[in-house]
Amino acid sequence: MKKVRIAIFASGTGSNAANMMDYFKNNDTVKIEFVLTNKQDAPVSEKTIERGVQLITCSNQEVDKLGFILGLCESKNIDFIILAGFLRKIPTDLIQRFKNKIINVHPSLLPKFGGVGMYGMHVHEAVKKAYETESGITIHYVSENFDEGQRIAQFFTSIQKSDTPQIIQHKIHLLEQMYFPFVIENEIKKFNESDIINL
């Protein structure tokens, strides 16, 4: 049976990318084909190389150039794209070609704390400032508008008054580690072989 081929895009620490690579290692139906990063020095690079997965590094200009990432994904017969802390806007040609095949994890309960400029620690600082009593993660499909694609799942955690943005970040990372690969696996299962894009 043809394996579902996944590309992971990441720009930072890479804890989600690493978790995903470990979760799907030697998987019968899913293969992580490559990890793409737009930040050469990001820790995700080392985590990818350590795990023997192909690392592709590109510049922000290349990410923004229509056809560049699309061509890359087509040449590798990619079926699904996972955004794991990828901090660059996804080009529209890729979104159109991979409709309902690009999945992002966002570190808040969307629609709260989403949109331009809301990523990583900025989100947790905003959550703290707003005196929220809970936060969480949203796993969603990617559309042309930042953080507005169809939601797949949300997971919650409570916030104590004494929680710093760093503690909130830690709680969010735990949720991501626990649920993100599992949700991806579930989404992929919904597509049988005939639904897989044959590029």
Residue 31 phi, psi (nearest 5): -130, 130
By CB under 6 A, the residues from 175 to 194 that bind ligand GAR are 176
Q: In angstroms, rounded to a whole number, what is the distance separating the alpha carbons of residues 119 and 137?
A: 12
Q: Does 120 bind ligand GAR (CB under 6 A)?
A: yes
Burial 54-81 (b: 16+ CB within 10 A, else e): ebbebeeeebeeeebbbebbeeeebbbb
Structure tokens at 114: 């989403």
> Is 47 one of the binding residues for ligand GAR (CB under 6 A)?
no
Min dist. Cβ of residue 39 to ligand GAR (A): 10
Binds ligand GAR (CB under 6 A): choice among 21, 102, 107, 168: 107
Nearer to ligand GAR, 126 or 199 (CB): 126
- Compare residues 86 and 98 and give the one whose CB is closer to ligand GAR: 86
Out of 4, 5, 6, 14, the only residue in the binding site for ligand GAR (CB under 6 A) is 14
**Tokens describing residue 52:** 């023997």
Provide the mask over 156-175, with x wherever binding to ligand GAR is found by CB under 6 A and - wherever it is not. Answer: ----------------x---
DSSP letter string, 107-140:
SS-TTTT-STT--HHHHHHHHHHTT-SEEEEEEE
Least Å distance between CB 19 and ligand GAR?
Answer: 8
Catalytic residue check, 124: no
d(CA 67, CA 85): 22
Angle value at C-alpha 16, between 136 and 20, nearest 5 degrees = 120
Residues that bind ligand GAR in the complex, under the rule CB under 6 A = 10, 12-17, 84-85, 105-107, 119-120, 123, 172, 176
Active-site annotation, residues: 106
